[in-house]
Structure 1
Amino acid sequence: MVGGPFYKVRLGRKDGQVSKASLVEGNLPRSNQTLDDMIKFFSTKGFTLQEMVALSGAHTIGFAHCKEFADRIFNYNKTTPTDPDMYPNYAQGLKKICADYKTNIAMSAFNDVITPGKFDNMYYQNLKRGLGLLASDHVLVKDPRTRPFVELYSTDQAAFFKAFAHAMEKLSHHGVKTGRKGEVRHRCDAFNSIKT
């Protein structure tokens, strides 16, 4: 619907019968993680460095709440309030959007300011221009271990789509429940009704 690649999703995957926000911590990467922490996180789940960079490309759509990147625009360090690697006009725009983020926690910004509703490789192009929103995005273009993949995907959308589709297929196999654990849902957004 938003222009991204197709990839196969196996049918019959079992979903859990518990859904709690408290169980998410430690199971998803954080927006302010260092690259070393991100690499370790993805590695423990069986993903390569290239797959991590490809999966990060999901940030070509969606948004992030201001609290997730406020340190980059208001409290970067003791001498510089704004991350100097951010494109100045972009940083100023984010400051306006997020001026009241502590009291209005719903305030947010698009992950991809150029094509926010289109799944494309603009996310990687943005990183090279200083338009990366999250610290975890920006570090991908700064570090020599991940920059070659950012360069590749920023200039070759087909390579990004192929890598993203492969990584998403791999992700769909991660942590699959077997036996009596979980259930194959009738609707993906709701537990099956419990029979007593």
Structure 2
Amino acid sequence: MSSKKLSRPCLVCWVVVFLFCTQSVHSQLEVGFYRSSCKLAEFIVKSAVRDGFNKDRGVAAGLVRMHFHDCFVRTGGFGYDVPAGRRDGTVSLASEVLTNLPPPTFNVDQLTQNFANKGFSQEEMVTLSGGHTIGRSHCTSFSNRLYNFNGTTSQDPTLDATYATSLKQTCPQGSTDPSLVVPMNPGSPATTDAGYYIDILANRGLFTSDQTLLTNAATATQVNINARNSILWRRKFAAAMQKMGKLDVLTGNAGEIRVDCRVINS
């Protein structure tokens, strides 16, 4: 995913995709945590998120993932309560990302296991995959589906041909230009909605990890349900995001409250 650097401190509490950390601990978190110490906290953060989103809609996907810090996310689709009170860690290692992050090339079995390792069901995995309704992707994350797919075909046969042609126009073969990006949900790239699932049913899932949801009977059923009932998906998505926001929580005297979200306190 791509995004420009953000100037507002709360907007740069950047957390990588799905924040797949270690264990689940959620004591001392509560909705309205700042009601006494900072009554305007949620309003201030929501305003900063809205301003950042209006300036660069490509930040939306990152904002969804950043909610695991004490920031309250609003990306233009719907809202939900975010329990607050977690503190920032004092160690951040890029090397830990690749061992915890589900890559865009995962198949449905690998995705299911990856999420199960963090306490999420297969249905919750499909629900959270709907986060790809917003944001953008670099070409390198899906070029494997456009060129040299396997020994018998150059293009992934599960990818809609017209959509593939459009992607190739933006992403020429062999390009590693980081400035080349495409929306993950071209129909409504700036709105959190169930369009992601509609695209999958039309073979317009951008990543292997998107389109693979149709290769399993159970996950395909969930894709169909979510595509037909956006209100139900929103409810499930909010619940799953709240659950994921309780992963690896630091509270009390653990961690720190950063003066600048971008760096640990000196």
Gaps spanning 5+ residues in structure 2: where? 1-73
- In structure 2, distance between residues paired with 1:191 and 1:35: 36
After superposition, give the CA deviation of every residue in 1:53-101 in whole Å (9 maximum; x if it has no partner).
1110000000111111111011211121111111111001111111055
**2:35 alignment partner in structure 1:** none
1:147 and 2:220 matched: yes
Deviates more, 1:13-22 or 1:25-34: 13-22
Using the alignment, how far apart are the partners of 2:221 and 2:256 within structure 1? 41
The aligned residue for residue 27 of structure 1 is: 100
Q: Counterpart of 1:156?
A: 229
Give the whole-Å Cα distance in 1 for the aligned partners of 2:110 and 2:250: 26
* Residue of structure 2 aligned with 1:93, choices 166, 173, 183: 166
Please list the CA deviations of residues 127-171 of structure 1 after superposition, one character each: whole Å capped at 9, or x if unmatched.
Answer: 000110000000112321201110011011101100000000000
What is the distance in 2 between the residues matched to 1:106 and 1:146? 33
Which letter does structure 2 place at the counterpart of 1:13?
A: R
Greater relative CO (CA pairs within 8 A, separation 6+): 1
Moved more, 176-185 or 61-70: 176-185
Give the aligned CA root-mean-square deviation in angstroms: 1.7
Relative to structure 1, the CA distance from residue 180 to residue 75 in structure 2 (aligned partners, 3 Å threshold; closer, same or farther) is: farther
Is 1:193 paired with 2:248? no
Letter of the structure 2 residue corresponding to residue 7 of structure 1: Y
* 1:163 counterpart letter in structure 2: K
Q: 1:40 corresponds to which residue?
A: 113
Question: Are 1:64 and 2:137 an aligned pair?
Answer: yes
Give the equivalent residue in structure 2 for 1:133: 206
Equivalent residues, number: 193
Amino acid at match of 1:47: F
Asked if the contact 2:108–2:215 (Cα under 8 Å) also holds between the matched residues in 1, the reply is no
Distance 2:238 2:189 in 1: 20
Superposed displacement of residue 119, structure 1: 1.0
Q: Residue 83 of structure 2: which of 1, 7, 10 is its match?
A: 10
Distance 1:44 1:103, change over 3 A: closer
Using the TM superposition, name which of 99-108 and 118-127 deviates more.
Answer: 99-108
Structure 1 residue runs without a partner (length 5+): none
Separation in structure 2 between the aligned mates of residue 72 and residue 125 of structure 1, nearest angstrom = 19
Whether the 8 Å CA contact 1:31–1:135 is kept in 2: the answer is yes
TM-score scaled to structure 2, two decimals? 0.68
**What is residue 123 of structure 1 aligned with on the other side?**
196
Counterpart position of 2:53: none
In 2, distance between residues paired with 1:158 and 1:129? 20
Instruction: Show the counterpart of 1:168.
Output: 241
Normalising by structure 1, what TM-score? 0.91
In 1: Cα distance, 2:83 partner to 2:187 partner: 33
C-alpha contact 1:113 1:131 (8 A) present in aligned 2: no
Q: Which amino acid aligns with 1:46?
A: G
Q: Does 1:107 align with 2:167?
A: no
1:103–1:6 CA distance, 2 compared to 1 (3 A): closer
Give the conservation status (yes or no) of the 8 Å contact 1:62–1:117. yes
